[in-house]
Amino acid sequence: MHVTGTARPSAPAPQENPEASTEDPSNDTGNDSGRHARRFGLPVATALVMGNIIGGGIFLLPASVAPYGTVSLLSFGLLTVGAIALALVFGRLAQRDPRTGGPYVYARGAFGDFAGFLAAWAYWITTWVSNAALAVAAVGYLDVLIPVNHHRWTACLAALTLQWLPALANFAGTRYVGAVQLVSTVLKFVPLLLVAIGGLFFFDPDNLGPFRASGGSTIGAISASAALLLFSYLGVESASVSAGEVKNPRRNVGRATVIGTAGAALVYLLGTLSVFGSVAHDRLVTSTAPFSDAVNAMFGGTWGGWAVALAALVSMVGCLNGWTLLSAQTPYAAAQDGLFPKAFARRRRGVPTVGVAVTVVLASLLTVYNYTSGSAKVFEMLVLVTTFTATVPYLLATAAQIFHLVSGRREQVDRARLARDATVTAVAAGFSIWLVAGAGYAAVYQGVLFLFVGVLVYAVMAARRQGQPDNA
């Protein structure tokens, strides 16, 4: 097995006890401050997972899947099972290796440098493209409160502002990232729970519409609706990616991952069901603000549009805050091992500042491109690309778990636990492959091109590492 983690080339020789060498993975630069690093306890780590999973998508999902009918609720259920299985796999892997980097650390530990690089590269693409998607979507909700969408460049400036504010919070240190994440998660759950729980009291079965509204087979309708829902479950790996900043990671990463994923899934299911039962199906299919329509249907008036728009904006800013940190953590871990440029390994107050800066610049450029191109389909395709690129580290992490289960010493294996872990891992593997199928041919094609560019980058980095006299 290859040695993994965040050890510097100048660090002492690896110790026999892996826990001793990973006790303080954030203590790798003289610029870190103990007051700002390693502040994530179980509540904040759970909020990070839930906040990253529940972004702006929850406010659009009911209308997006309504054309397929109530069969989309079945898709939600299947996706939830797969997401929780993946969360359990990440929890088990974090117990084995609780260092910053998540899927990158797991893939490299099991299969070597190239697999680790692919996981880091694909995940990095996923994060900064997702940030651009969230910022552009947030502008639509900001326009309800403050008209900014009437001119293309005004909207672009608003989207860029929404990206840079969370980046500034990240530059302030992980202590402030956690505070913003916790506050934004709490605030956005108030209106979400209002609809998810309150809507059940106004539930009218006549509003549900047909079970399969789009025609065709049930399996086809499930797959088609699932393709729209896949992006909304990205983020289950959040706690494991930032494991180095989580207190007692062997214990808290797994718990935060499972609790956060289950909590997000519950909100998704209840929220969608309540909207389905509160808004007539014909109206829901054409709705651009389904949660606003649900609140208006429940209580009358039009104030619901304002309230939900504000909640959506808070949700997306919180999601951008968390994703900005995650976008820098994986390149940071890879840079420590010589697989990314060394600049990505620089940290200040617990935050890889170069990674944050590069990520927000790339996302900003993509945002500007989206507004100047004038083509929504180009941007939608990039969102689907993130669904595909996310499956690369997911599948590699799942494969790493399979590797550990198969290669474990028989005399040390608890057969009951082995059977349970094998079942969960098989479900997670199937879920990851389904994500690839749901992304579609065009998205997979473009995603593979992104990966091939990464192969060229890896060739350069591998050549540089080979030329170093003392290669860690």
Model confidence at 86: pLDDT above 80: yes
Structure confidence at residue 13 as a pLDDT band (50, 70, 90): very low
Q: Which pLDDT value is given to residue 79? A: 84
Structure confidence at residue 1 as a pLDDT band (50, 70, 90): very low
The model's pTM: 0.74
User: Which of 13-27, 53-67, 117-131, 433-447 has the least mean pLDDT?
Assistant: 13-27
Q: Which pLDDT value is given to residue 255? A: 83
Model confidence at 90: pLDDT above 80: yes
Model confidence at 10: pLDDT above 80: no
Distance separating alpha carbons of residues 373 and 383, to the nearest angstrom: 16
Residue, of 184 and 20, whose pLDDT is higher: 184
Q: What is the pLDDT of residues 223-235, one digit of tens each?
A: 777 777 777 777 7
Q: What is the pLDDT of residues 198-208, one digit of tens each?
A: 888 888 888 88
Sequence-ordered list of residues with C-beta below 8 angstroms from that of 190, at least 6 positions apart, any chain: 311
Q: Which pLDDT value is given to residue 160? A: 92
Q: Which pLDDT value is given to residue 378? A: 57
Distance separating alpha carbons of residues 188 and 312, to the nearest angstrom: 7
Q: Which pLDDT value is given to residue 23? A: 38
Residue with tokens 């899927």: 103
Model confidence at 396: pLDDT above 90: yes
Q: What is the pLDDT of residues 423-441, one digit of tens each?
A: 989 998 988 887 787 777 8
Structure confidence at residue 11 as a pLDDT band (50, 70, 90): very low
Q: Which pLDDT value is given to residue 327? A: 81
Q: What is the pLDDT of residues 67-81, one digit of tens each?
A: 888 888 888 888 888
Model confidence at 170: pLDDT above 90: no
Residue, of 405 and 434, whose pLDDT is higher: 405
Domain edges within the chain: 36-406+413-466
- Average pLDDT of every residue of the chain: 77
Model confidence at 190: pLDDT above 50: yes
Average pLDDT over residues 155-163: 89
User: Contact, 394 vs 435, CB < 8 A?
Assistant: yes
Q: Which pLDDT value is given to residue 468? A: 66
Model confidence at 4: pLDDT above 60: no
User: Contact, 437 vs 403, CB < 8 A?
Assistant: no
Q: Which pLDDT value is given to residue 401? A: 92
Residue with tokens 């390693």: 38
User: Which of 3-12, 41-50, 310-319, 373-382 has the least mean pLDDT?
Assistant: 3-12
Residue, of 472 and 48, whose pLDDT is higher: 48
Model confidence at 246: pLDDT above 60: yes
417: which 2 tokens? 């636990």
Q: Which pLDDT value is given to residue 185? A: 66
Residue, of 118 and 58, whose pLDDT is higher: 118
Average pLDDT over residues 412-433: 81
348 phi/psi in degrees, rounded to 5 = -140, 120
The CATH number corresponding to 36-406+413-466 among 1.20.1740.10, 1.10.10.10, 3.20.20.60, 3.40.190.10 equals 1.20.1740.10
Q: Which residues of 94-116 are buried (b: 16+ CB within 10 A; e: fewer)?
A: beebbbbbbbbbbbbbbbebebb
Average pLDDT over residues 460-469: 78
Model confidence at 36: pLDDT above 50: no
Percent of the chain with pLDDT over 90: 6
Q: Within its chain, how far is the Cα of 265 from the centroid?
A: 14
Q: What is the pLDDT of residues 272-323, one digit of tens each?
A: 888 898 888 888 888 767 887 888 888 776 676 787 778 778 777 877 877 7
